[in-house]
Structure 1
Amino acid sequence: MTERVATTPGLFPLPDWAKETLSDLKGHQKGDLLSGNEGPEIVSTYADVRSELIDDQLDAGLDRIVEGQARWDDMIAHPLTVADGVETGGIVRYYDNNNFYRDPRVVSEPTASGDVAEELASASDQLPADDDVALQAVLPGPYSLSELATNETGADAEAFRESIAAFLAAEVEALGDHETLFLLEPSLVEQPPEDGVDAQASDAIDRVASATDADVVVHTYWGAIPEKPYAHLLDADIDAVGLDLVTGDRDDSVYNVQEYGAPDSVALGVVDGQNTLVEEPETIAERVGWFEEQLPVGGFETTYVTSNTELFYLPENKYQAKLNALAAGVEVLS
């Protein structure tokens, strides 16, 4: 019988009270922020934010709890922007939307900072001793991170991807205990790899996934992965592929699974992370059920029921409502 798990890809919006506080503080400590060395007031504020975001998830009844990634001003590029060997460039557009990040310009071999591991440890300390919830780590996938970064190392594109994969693998190795790891790979859809590069991207993902004993979900969104990159992705030693059933034609994702198969588990993006309309629990359950009906009998070991994208695009009250809807949708399925 398939286990249904309510979760998210992380990257939550800042609570309204924190936006004003951090805006004032960051104006005086910009250099510290860029280097990852925030002052004590900023550290304290983000600690309070982390507690609030974890409480939001616990109150909603999610099965996997993320740290929230409220410090990730630079979207999924954040782990690289605070690494040694990386200089922070100007403001650039994040894919094709109205969000922006500071361009990480990699000038030498990037060195893992342990920044994400520290965040995860702080989140772990705040979880209850409860078998019903478990910790989930979140990181960018190596293909997307290499696409978002600017390569100023002098290495060719393949070697650069390998260095980013090695960097992320070191970040993963530093993580404490976690039940699952979501690797966010929107570039597999937004900037799909060409022939030859698709196999290299799969190798890079495999290297990062092999750095943890946790279940690894490669979550893709903003549409379906093209066929060849999808087929190559399955060569990586991962536990689940994340499929966006909200954006674009969901039949394309179904076709990929029917034609090429899938890992033992799947993550289904059935809640719109960019739309303020809050889905009814029954709608969420129907979307999961529809997907499962398209596939051969047997199903998956685990179905992660999640939003298709990060939730930071949403106002605070809508983000909270989406968390509640995800948990309630899984309840309908049980």
Structure 2
Amino acid sequence: MTERVATTPGLFPLPDWAKETLSELKGHQKGDLLSGEEGREIVETYDEVRSELIDDQVDAGLDRIVEGQSRWDDMIAHPLTIADGVETGGIVRYYDNNNFYRDPQVRTEPSPSGDVADDLAAATADAPDDSDIQAVLPGPYSLADLATNETSHDEEAFLDTIATFLAEEVDALGEHETLFLLEPSFAENPPGDGEDAQASAAIDTVADASDAEVVVHTYWGAIPEKPYAHLLDADIDAVGIDLVAADREDSVYNVQEYGATDSIALGVVDGQNTLVETPETIGERVEWFESQVPVDDFETTYVTSNTELFYLPENKYKAKLNALVAGVEVLS
């Protein structure tokens, strides 16, 4: 019997009150805020935001609680932008989603900051004692894809460097039930021949650092066949599949042709569209996928949004959380 788990890839929108407060505070603070050395009032504001985001998830009834990543101004590049050995460059566009972020320029071997571990520890303290905590990090392939390599390493060695960096960040994390590695580049800028095996090995390096269930969540389209087949070689528990994307049939074909991990993550709620899916729609998307693939039962099906919920207004983000939980209830 498949266990169905309502969860998200994290990266929630800031509450409306926090946007105004942080804008004012950061306008008065000099220096590089991306260094992680925010002033006391900014730190306290983010602490308050984290508590609120956790309350949102608890109120909705999600099965996994994430920290919310409210401090990730640079989206999934954040853990690298604040690392030693990395300079934050100018504003660039990541992917095709009309959002612009800073460019992490890696000068030397990046050193883990422990920033993500500290935030996860704070989230664990804020969450109810019986909560199942989910950590969120970028995957190594996407993070290497987004970064500018200014080291002496070639691209293959650079990917290994990023994987080692992330593995050290994971090793610093406290106890967590699940680890989501966000890998949109697998769909948006997929690895080519040879690089696909290296990308899988890099993910394996990061996954091996965690004792939790590891989900490699891909989105904004389907992974091409060869990268998908190589991804299955990594020691991971689940691959995330975007069922909101127009080419979801390609994702189904991959599973039909090459098989699947023991568990699966299905992006069935649109993280960039304010239209809130009904529980029935969510249930139908999960059941449609299950009816198409030659798998009797997955150990766990993670029912999630296809992308981060960062792009949504605050009220719609909360509505999507509730929709995910209601969709799982429909399936039970």
Give, in angstroms, the shift of residue 32 of structure 1. Answer: 3.8
Amino acid of the structure 1 residue aligned with 2:255: V
Counterparts of 1:101 and 1:282 in 2: how far apart (Å)? 36
What residue in structure 2 maps to residue 289 of structure 1?
287
Counterparts of 1:129 and 1:147 in 2: how far apart (Å)? 37
Show CA shifts across 1:247-294 (max 9, x none): 122111111011001110000000000000000001101100111111
1:162-201 to structure 2, matched below 5 A, reads: 162-201=160-199
Stretch moving more, 309-318 or 291-300: 291-300
What residue in structure 2 maps to residue 3 of structure 1?
3
What residue in structure 1 maps to residue 101 of structure 2?
101
1:223-238 to structure 2, matched below 5 A, reads: 223-238=221-236
What residue in structure 1 maps to residue 18 of structure 2?
18
Counterparts of 1:164 and 1:151 in 2: how far apart (Å)? 10
Give, in angstroms, the shift of residue 56 of structure 1. Answer: 0.3
Amino acid of the structure 2 residue aligned with 1:283: T
Amino acid of the structure 2 residue aligned with 1:12: F
In structure 2, the residue corresponding to 1:92 is in which secondary structure? strand
Amino acid of the structure 1 residue aligned with 2:65: I
Counterparts of 2:31 and 2:94 in 1: how far apart (Å)? 22
In structure 1, the residue corresponding to 2:235 is in which secondary structure? coil
Give, in angstroms, the shift of residue 30 of structure 1. Answer: 5.2
Give, in angstroms, the shift of residue 172 of structure 1. Answer: 0.1
Query: Could you tell me the TM-score, scaled by structure 2's length?
Result: 0.99
In structure 2, the residue corresponding to 1:243 is in which secondary structure? strand
What residue in structure 1 maps to residue 249 of structure 2?
251
1:81 aligns with 2:81: yes
What residue in structure 2 maps to residue 34 of structure 1?
34
What residue in structure 1 maps to residue 206 of structure 2?
208
Show CA shifts across 1:100-138 (max 9, x none): 1111000000000000000000000011122xx300000
Indicate the RMSD between aligned Cα atoms, in angstroms.
0.8
Counterparts of 1:162 and 1:245 in 2: how far apart (Å)? 30
Counterparts of 2:315 and 2:17 in 1: how far apart (Å)? 13
Give, in angstroms, the shift of residue 31 of structure 1. Answer: 2.4
Amino acid of the structure 1 residue aligned with 2:56: D
Q: 1:319 aligns with which of 302, 317, 320?
A: 317
Show CA shifts across 1:144-177 (max 9, x none): 0000000001210001000000000000000000
What residue in structure 2 maps to residue 65 of structure 1?
65
Counterparts of 2:194 and 2:31 in 1: how far apart (Å)? 40
In structure 2, the residue corresponding to 1:128 is in which secondary structure? coil
Counterparts of 1:144 and 1:302 in 2: how far apart (Å)? 25
Counterparts of 2:78 and 2:57 in 1: how far apart (Å)? 22
Counterparts of 1:248 and 1:162 in 2: how far apart (Å)? 32
Give, in angstroms, the shift of residue 97 of structure 1. Answer: 2.0
Report runs of 4+ in structure 1 exceeding 4 Å deviation. none
Q: How many residues align?
A: 332
Counterparts of 1:71 and 1:312 in 2: how far apart (Å)? 12
Q: Which runs of 5+ in 2 are unaligned?
A: none
In structure 1, the residue corresponding to 2:28 is in which secondary structure? coil
What residue in structure 1 maps to residue 54 of structure 2?
54
What residue in structure 2 maps to residue 91 of structure 1?
91
Amino acid of the structure 1 residue aligned with 2:262: D
- State whether residues 32 and 39 of structure 1, in contact with CA within 8 Å, keep that contact through their aligned partners in structure 2: no
Amino acid of the structure 1 residue aligned with 2:60: A
1:45 aligns with 2:45: yes
Show CA shifts across 1:49-108 (max 9, x none): 000000000000100000000000001000000000001100001211211111100000
Distance 1:56 1:315, change over 3 A: same
1:332 aligns with 2:330: yes
Give, in angstroms, the shift of residue 296 of structure 1. Answer: 2.4
